[in-house]
Structure 1
Amino acid sequence: MAITLPTLLIDQLRTARHIAVLTGAGVSAASGLPTFREAQTGLWAQYRPEDLATAEAFRRDPKLVWEWYAWRRSLVEKAAPNAAHVALAALALHVPKLTLITQNVDGLHQQAGSSGVVEMHGNIRRTKCFDENTVVESWPATDEVPPRCPQCQGYLRPDVVWFGESLPEGALDQTADAAVDCDLFLSVGTSGMVEPAASLLRIAIEHDALGVIINPTRIDAHKSVIQIEANAGDTLMALLAQAWPEG
């Protein structure tokens, strides 16, 4: 299905000094990755994600939480970037500045070629020490689950933001700065309900940026926001083709 985009958006794309893009779970859904709050399957059907993604859950049963994330990581490792990831990497080549902010933890933006991605919720492919909060690149092979930090012998955990935890150092400042500075803000594949990411579009609009939501389902938003009710991959590819038809 052909997607015709508003002339205002195409003109802004061509002339933008700084574009900020926020991506959510809808961007990775086309790569076969379930959204965080979707019903669990198989062995995990009896658990709610909200009951596993906390420091308290890890302290209570570190083996259970580690194995749940190992299952989620196995899904990520089988996934490949889709058209939305590829289009955003290409978009960065056409504009003076692009800040790519993601709520996703799968690393698919980087795999598609995007650099400088601001990961609001961490990255499931990385591991860190639970006690020292530092990234651990490798550790001795062991049958113990979870494995232990080679420095302090504390448990290792995925480098993702759990409920009740702060965002990674510097991420909040980077995202707020981008929202204030950009002249075009694209919110792609996210419900706009999870804070602090949900406030970024509003901040951008308050600082005179053009706000655009790309999502299959209409979202309650400021009346000035352009809403495109279509999937991320098709829309972003159409955006590239119509803004830069020469390729």
Structure 2
Amino acid sequence: MPGRADAGECHRSPRPSDSRRDALRPTAPGLKCPPNGRYCSIVTLRLAGTRRRRLVAQRSRALCATLARRSFFASVLAVTAVACVQTRQAVAAEPVRQIPLTETSIRGPQNAPVTIVEFSDFQCPYCGQAKGLVDQVLAAYPKDVRFAYKNFPLPMHPNADPAARAALAAGKQGKFWEMHDALFQQAGDLSPSAIRAIAERLRLNVATFEADMESPAVKEQLDVEVRQGKVAGVRGTPTFFINGRVAQTRSLAGFKAMIEEELKNKSG
């Protein structure tokens, strides 16, 4: 209505008389009467200003959060890119070992494009576990992978050396891999009597077998394989090389990744 000032509004009214002006003069705290007759609620204006400031602050925080997320993802992408480059550089810089395979027993096609060489210890429990991995790899790549076994008996295993010589001696009768598999199956007992029992079970000429185990030729062959391992940087067992590169991960997925990379390089 004309002449009424509602809270939260600015209202212009006709110039009243003194008595009416006194009656209309606001008495509520926070109100004032400007000279032009407009009545404003400072409280309302302050609330409106506060709402505007809150809105600006909310928008500012939202903008900052968006920028922070973008900055974070940009940083992640940058770090990932650098890591990928460093990984490729590390692979490119990794030395390829030339490991001789003369007089080495090999499973798989002789002309396979990928060669896996293992330096192993028959008394090492981890080597026994790795045998299952090798079997899986050979089954997955019957035409593309060949496997060479090198003896690397560790001094901490007293029966590892005679077991290695037993495998080499059995190889002279054409049964290296049969002895290899049997020794890993019986890794808990590699005593002389246990090794002799394996030789009998494999129907080896036991007298010749035992003589070969102690022969200078077999001992020299074992020494050669150990030296080859040391030259290649072998410090423990099992250690695998895939086309001369150290296999950092002993898993089927890790082996497959390296094999696929080698096959791609061969075909390219």
State the TM-score, normalized to the length of structure 1. 0.30
Larger % of helix: which?
A: 2
Q: Which has the higher contact order (CA 8 A, sep 6+)?
A: 1
Identify, as 1 or 2, the structure richer in strand: 1
From the CA coordinates, give the structure whose radius of gyration is larger.
Answer: 2
**TM-score, scaled to structure 2:** 0.28
